[in-house]
Amino acid sequence: MSQEGLTEAYGWAARDSSGILSPLHFTRRANGDTDITIKILYCGICHSDFHMLKNDHGISIYPLVPGHEIVGEVTKVGRRVTKFKVGDVAGVGGIVGTCGTCSNCTQGLETYCPKMILTSSSHYHDGSITYGGFSDNFVVDEHFAVTIPESMPLHATAPLLCAGITVYSPMLHHGLCRPGQHLGVVGLGGLGHLAVKFAKAFGMKVTVISTSSRKKEEAIERLGVDSFLLSHQQQQLQDATGTMDGIIDTVSAPHSVYPLVGLLKTGGNLILVGAPAASSPELPSLPLIMGRKSISGSAGGGMRETQEMIEFAAKHNISADVEVIPMDYVNTAMGRLVNNDVQYRFVIDVANTLDTPRTN
């Protein structure tokens, strides 16, 4: 701790939209009465981290310490903290603050609060900048941390904090969680493979729609996907017309949604969770009208629902398929992430690979 009570921290940051990460000493706010401090053990790499590093959405603040799939050990608790004690394992996802009083907040829909504060690259209530989990520690209001059952594998649980809740929440909201229903999952990356796992745990039939034929065997044999459509094969799409109750689109690059709408049953919903830098150019009015279909979006999930998702995952042995990497591999990992060369999530072994902070 520094003299002002701020928390000294050390991590990896980008200085500009080149997105290149390198070590940085910085300070976090002091641990307040309702805050916990976490020693970070693992942090997943979400494609949103890449979008933020590159300022794809025009909201990035540099230096930028990414990382919002954080699992760690609680090292300090404020005097009004009730949910955690020192030594517990805590998880933090995409948001660390809200107004607490609007209709979204009071319904547990924190990610839709107009004053929502992101875990990284946002202005906190006190005006300080938020820095993410590519770092040794984290200070967070306990409301924005969830408890992690001890039985869960911590490295593979980290991605549930963003990727997991981002697909789980819209599935629950749209009632796409019942045995026998048919879910389409577009893009088999970090979010996509977890959508498959949750859908299979709900007893659904799952079809993956992908551009990459090399993912087919693994998807069917290991993830238990029921069928696999190549998005550029017109006949395959044609044959699947009108068969899906819902589709979760996790694609990180601009793409056409027109062919996807045709796959939905009457009343079906195409849920966009992928957040490309540029939006899809078309709105397919007639296909939507003729099938009473919807296209919707969804952002992460509220804190109550995130805790529920963790409990559900623990009960059904759901965790991410991960490649654990050292901190100094992050720049290479970012390059591989954009080239779709990861099955299916990079997770940084922060505690064991972030070198000891220098004193100067």
Q: Which residues bind ligand NAD (CB under 6 A)?
A: 46-48, 51, 162-163, 166, 187-192, 211-212, 250-253, 255, 273-276, 298-300, 337, 340
> By beta-carbon distance, which residue lies closest to ligand NAD?
189
Residue 348's alpha-carbon distances to 80, 218, 229, 296, in angstroms, are 31, 24, 32, 32
Please, what is the minimum distance in Å from the beta carbon of residue 213 to ligand NAD? Answer: 12
308 CB contacts (<8 Å, ≥6 apart)?
A: none
Query: Out of Zn ion, ligand NAD, none, which partner does residue 72 contact, by CB within 5 to 8 A per kind?
Result: none
Q: Which is nearer to Zn ion, 52 or 270 (CB)?
A: 52
Q: Which is nearer to ligand NAD, 9 or 67 (CB)?
A: 67
- Cα-based angle 172, 174, 178 (whole degrees, multiple of 5): 60
Query: Out of ligand NAD, Zn ion, none, which partner does residue 251 contact, by CB within 5 to 8 A per kind?
Result: ligand NAD
Residue 174's alpha-carbon distances to 90, 108, 178, 242, in angstroms, are 28, 16, 11, 18
Q: What is the DSSP string of 236-261?
A: HHHHTTT-EEEEEE---S----HHHH
Q: Which is nearer to ligand NAD, 90 or 163 (CB)?
A: 163
Q: Which amino acid is at 239?
A: D
Query: Out of Zn ion, ligand NAD, none, which partner does residue 95 contact, by CB within 5 to 8 A per kind?
Result: none
What phi and psi values does residue 254 have, to the nearest 5 degrees? Answer: -55, 140
CA 49 to chain centre: 9
Neighbouring-strand partners of residue 35? 141
Is the bond into 10 cis (omega within 30 degrees of 0)?
no
Q: Which is nearer to ligand NAD, 75 or 211 (CB)?
A: 211
Please, what is the minimum distance in Å from the beta carbon of residue 210 to ligand NAD? Answer: 7
CA atoms of 112 and 117, how far apart (whole Å) = 10
Q: Which is nearer to ligand NAD, 132 or 300 (CB)?
A: 300
Please, what is the minimum distance in Å from the beta carbon of residue 337 to ligand NAD? Answer: 5
Please, what is the minimum distance in Å from the beta carbon of residue 112 to Zn ion? Answer: 8
Hey, how many other C-beta atoms are within 10 angstroms of the C-beta on 297?
Answer: 12
Query: Out of Zn ion, ligand NAD, none, which partner does residue 211 contact, by CB within 5 to 8 A per kind?
Result: ligand NAD
With beta carbons less than 8 A apart as the criterion, state whether 93 and 109 touch. Answer: no
Q: Supply the DSSP symbol for 317.
A: T
Q: Which is nearer to ligand NAD, 36 or 295 (CB)?
A: 295
Please, what is the minimum distance in Å from the beta carbon of residue 2 to ligand NAD? Answer: 33
Residue 29 corresponds to which tokens in the numbers above? 């706010």
Please, what is the minimum distance in Å from the beta carbon of residue 46 to ligand NAD? Answer: 5
Hey, how many other C-beta atoms are within 10 angstroms of the C-beta on 57?
Answer: 13
**Helix (H) or strand (E) run with residue 349 in it:** strand 345-349
Please, what is the minimum distance in Å from the beta carbon of residue 360 to ligand NAD? Answer: 36
Supply the angle between the helices 303-315 and 163-173 in degrees, to the nearest 10: 100
Q: Which is nearer to ligand NAD, 74 or 95 (CB)?
A: 95
Q: Which is nearer to Zn ion, 110 or 142 (CB)?
A: 110
Q: Supply the DSSP symbol for 278.
A: S
Query: Out of ligand NAD, Zn ion, none, which partner does residue 99 contact, by CB within 5 to 8 A per kind?
Result: Zn ion
Query: Out of ligand NAD, Zn ion, none, which partner does residue 44 contact, by CB within 5 to 8 A per kind?
Result: none
- Cα-based angle 220, 297, 256 (whole degrees, multiple of 5): 65
Please, what is the minimum distance in Å from the beta carbon of residue 50 to ligand NAD? Answer: 7
CA atoms of 90 and 68, how far apart (whole Å) = 13
Please, what is the minimum distance in Å from the beta carbon of residue 47 to ligand NAD? Answer: 3
Q: Which is nearer to ligand NAD, 148 or 271 (CB)?
A: 271
Query: Out of Zn ion, ligand NAD, none, which partner does residue 113 contact, by CB within 5 to 8 A per kind?
Result: Zn ion
* Residues engaged in binding Zn ion (CB under 5 A): 46, 48, 98-99, 102, 105, 113, 162
Query: Out of Zn ion, ligand NAD, none, which partner does residue 102 contact, by CB within 5 to 8 A per kind?
Result: Zn ion
